[in-house]
Structure 1
Amino acid sequence: MAREKTRPAQQVVQKSSDDHAAPNPVWFKPVMFGFMLVGLAWIIVFYVSQGTLPIPDLQSWNILIGFGIAFVGFLMTTRWR
């Protein structure tokens, strides 16, 4: 009895619609990096001014605002193509 060797069926890989997505618009990268830099600058200004700038009434909430602005930029990196 001869055993027949069978080859596994070739799997057809279909590309999802995300593989053919269009590249980002021209403004996307500058805005993304802009958010990251503005958030960093916000935090640096807060520390250098010893809490008197950018918005003195917010006190330590300025740090959270700076991180929030920078975080928006980092979230945009997930959509960068």
Structure 2
Amino acid sequence: MPESRARKKPDYTPPPQRSTGKKQSPSWWAPVMVALMVIGLVYIVVFYLSQSQYPIAAIGPWNVVIGFGVIMAGFMMSTRWR
């Protein structure tokens, strides 16, 4: 009875090496993150204390949405901070 041919296994290639150093955020990341959160908070506080006259009277309650949007931008940055 004839023998089957031996299978040639492909050469082993190791996976690429990952860098062992921890990734760090740029030095400006944390100040910008905190500044966005504070600016958003100040924007909303000014809106309520000025009884809807400032920062932009024409858009009315949408000022709160803008303030929360700025705060959320800061929060999203905090999830990527290392």
Q: Normalised by the shorter chain, which TM-score bucket? A: 0.7 to 0.9
**TM-score of the superposed pair, with normalisation by structure 1:** 0.74
Corresponding residue SS for 1:24: coil
Classify 1:23/1:52 alpha carbon distance in 2 versus 1 (closer, same or farther; 3 Å). Answer: same
CA distance 1:57–1:18, shift in 2 (3 Å): farther
Distance of 1:47 and 1:19 partners within structure 2: 49
SS at match of 1:62: helix
SS of 1:42's equivalent in the other structure is helix
The aligned length equals 65
Output the aligned Cα RMSD: 1.7
Q: How does 1:38-77 map to 2 (within 5 A)?
A: 38-77=39-78
Corresponding letter in the other structure for 1:67: F
Structure 1 moving runs of 4+ over 4 Å: 17-21
TM-score by length of 2: 0.73
Alpha-carbon distance between aligned partners in 2 of 1:18 and 1:42, rounded to the nearest angstrom: 42
The runs of 5 or more residues in structure 2 that have no matched partner are 1-17
The one-letter amino acid of 1:38's match is I
Deviations 1:14-73 (A, max 9, x none): xxx597442011100000001000000000000000000000001000000000000000
Cross-structure match for 2:32: 31
Greater C-alpha Rg = 2
